[in-house]
Structure 1
Amino acid sequence: MLKDFFGKKKKKYASIPSEQGKLEVPEGLMKKCSGCHKIYYRKEMQKNVNVCPNCDYHQSLTAWERIGSLFDEGTFEEWDKQLTTTNPLEFPGYEEKIEKDRIKTGLNEGVVTGKGSINGQPTAFSVMDASFRMGSMGSVMGEKIARAIENAKDESLPLIIFTASGGARMQEGVLSLMQMTKTSIAIKRFSEAGGLMISVMTHPTTGGVSASFASLGDYNFAEPGALIGFAGRRIIEQTIREKLPDDFQTAEFLLKHGQLDKVVHRHEVKSLLTTLLIMHGKGGETS
């Protein structure tokens, strides 16, 4: 029964034996760590910002969970919420998949953009959500991120981008790949205007996202154990005909080879961002 309960199932409730007989446990009450496979109350894991208390594995966060863990309450303002994805190439079944993800996540696209304050320090932000089409970058995602960069430039705000993506969105073909150029050019303009960009790569950050705006920050950070890379391990090994290291394309591997500035534990991200925003801004009160 435990296997049925914590695995995929169609039942709303699962029965767990107890001294009194059977105890019905509501679905979603518990959460299994993807690292050590220990089971916790979901609320306990959420209080720890989805970091496993046992093995320190960083579980995924939704965009709004991450925003809620970082930004001062009542300070964030969302940008371009109304932008929605269409089906420019008339790819079969694409619109139905998008609609399912809208219902599942409550988002119109796999990124939330806006502005807010972190410990009193104002900043613009883009937070990607891998639960929407695996965070794949299509036309609307690229447009929202590019607009956020332009807004940050126009309002003289620093910009923080949290990435989580499986890469380009295949249903949009070359239109998806064009977003790499669009976002990169927007960041170049932002940088030339004196803007500060901080990139925080989370698991996974791959494909066209890793090869464009995710790697263009003035500071490039990553969460522990995050998968970061362009092509997959198997493709690279078949191409170069060599076995790659076990830690290849992890945040720690990239740090060791000079491609990251720091691997930052999720509990330390808010403090680090606050320090950098004060350093590059006008200072202010912290809490």
Structure 2
Amino acid sequence: MNWLTNFVRPRISAWVKKDVPQNLWVKCPGCEAQIHHRELEENLQVCPHCGHHMRIDAAKRLALMFDEGRYDEVELPDVPQDPLKFRDLKRYSDRLKAAQASSGRKDAMIVARGTIKGTHAIVAAFDFSFMGGSMGTAVGEALVTAAKLAVMQECPLVVVPASGGARMQESILSLMQMPRTTIAVEMVKDKRLPYIVVLTDPTTGGVTASFAMLGDIHIAESGAMIGFAGARVIEETIREKLPEGFQRAEYLREHGMVDIVTTRHELPTVLGRLLDLLMRQRPPAEVVQLSTDKAARKAKPAG
């Protein structure tokens, strides 16, 4: 028996593995640079080399958007779990339990209230890590709740989608959330309150086909993928090669689908400026009494 190989080396390896944290370095999907996790965290999950915006969870996004990272999370109504008793490779109920256990949340949307650069606002943000941010009845109920709260408190509604689209495990119930969320948005607009959408990577499918593209103003994070179907599906359907950067935020801005493209660092400032302009209470204009005397309207004779 070789005691160095069989006894000493395993002990040293075990000791080293305990003291070395995992995932110290992250590979950027854009430029493939290796970035230390602490540097990436300090830079808001944006690559310092190429500016690629990596995905962040809903809680971090809300902390970034609200003043001093403070906000109150709104309690959302409960919805039936697995109403269709759906099963593919796994039971839908099991998938839900796994997603809830890993995220610590009921579903893929968080609704919060607070101030953005001093302006009170309601924000509904998707969490892509929860089943790809897919939209089911819980997400639909969350958005309706956010719209009602915005109307009740007479403040803007900001929605931050990050979704792969409708949740297939809920079938027609998921598709019904498209008109339902559209009506919820119209409730806000009928009260002449701002409805702003912050498009992030990715925003696709039934979310894009409903409330995500109904904003009064559309802001997009740099490089975000925004569309309905995937680029490969579109190319196979139309049998043509798509332009470079198709479905990216910058391409959509050039073609009128997005109003503003900004970086994650500048997003709170841009959003705060817009909310201030849209919600600022200006003093009424001075009332000028118009004369009804016809003679007064005649031009005075020269001299």
TM-score range, shorter chain: 0.7 to 0.9
Specify the alignment match of 2:26 in structure 1: 31
Runs of 4+ in 1 over 6 A off after TM superposition: none
Specify the alignment match of 2:270 in structure 1: 272
- Map of 1:123-142 to 2, 5 A cutoff? 123-142=121-140
Query: Partners in 2 of 1:74 and 1:38 — Cα distance?
Result: 29
**Residues 142-191 of structure 1, C-alpha deviations (whole Å, 9 max, x = no match):** 11011101110111010111110000000000110111101101111210
Specify the alignment match of 1:192 in structure 2: 190
Query: Partners in 2 of 1:116 and 1:40 — Cα distance?
Result: 33
Change (3 A) 1:22 1:107: closer
Q: Greater CA deviation, 29-38 or 128-137? A: 29-38
SS in 2 for 1:164: coil
Q: Greater CA deviation, 36-45 or 171-180? A: 36-45
Specify the alignment match of 1:77 in structure 2: 72
- State the Cα distance separating 1:30 from its structure 2 match: 3.0
- Map of 1:116-127 to 2, 5 A cutoff? 116-127=114-125
Change (3 A) 1:36 1:23: farther
Query: Partners in 2 of 1:272 and 1:74 — Cα distance?
Result: 16
Verify the 8 A CA contact 1:77 1:116 in the aligned structure 2: yes
2:200 alignment partner AA: T
How many residue pairs align between the two structures? 264
Name stretches of at least 5 consecutive residues in structure 2 with no aligned partner: 1-12, 282-303
Change (3 A) 1:103 1:84: farther
2:252 alignment partner AA: L
Specify the alignment match of 1:241 in structure 2: 239
- Map of 1:91-106 to 2, 5 A cutoff? 91-92=86-87, 93-106=91-104
Name stretches of at least 5 consecutive residues in structure 1 with no aligned partner: 1-14, 16-20
**Bigger Rg, structure 1 or 2:** 2
Alpha-carbon RMSD across the aligned residues, in angstroms, is 1.8
**Residues 63-92 of structure 1, C-alpha deviations (whole Å, 9 max, x = no match):** 001111121247411113463661011012
Specify the alignment match of 1:12 in structure 2: none
1:163 alignment partner AA: P
Specify the alignment match of 1:54 in structure 2: 49
Query: Partners in 2 of 1:252 and 1:238 — Cα distance?
Result: 24
**Residues 224-273 of structure 1, C-alpha deviations (whole Å, 9 max, x = no match):** 11111111222222222211113111111111111110111111111011
Specify the alignment match of 1:42 in structure 2: 37
Verify the 8 A CA contact 1:111 1:141 in the aligned structure 2: yes
Aligned match for 1:160, one of 147, 158, 165: 158
Query: Partners in 1 of 2:190 and 2:123 — Cα distance?
Result: 19
Query: Partners in 1 of 2:213 and 2:49 — Cα distance?
Result: 31
- Map of 1:161-240 to 2, 5 A cutoff? 161-240=159-238
Identity of counterpart residues, as a percentage?
A: 42
**Residues 28-50 of structure 1, C-alpha deviations (whole Å, 9 max, x = no match):** 43322221222222222111111
1:87 lines up with 2:87 in the alignment? no
Query: Partners in 2 of 1:150 and 1:24 — Cα distance?
Result: 50
TM-score between the two structures when normalised by the length of structure 1:
0.87
Aligned match for 1:63, one of 54, 58, 63: 58
Query: Partners in 2 of 1:260 and 1:22 — Cα distance?
Result: 48
Verify the 8 A CA contact 1:84 1:108 in the aligned structure 2: no
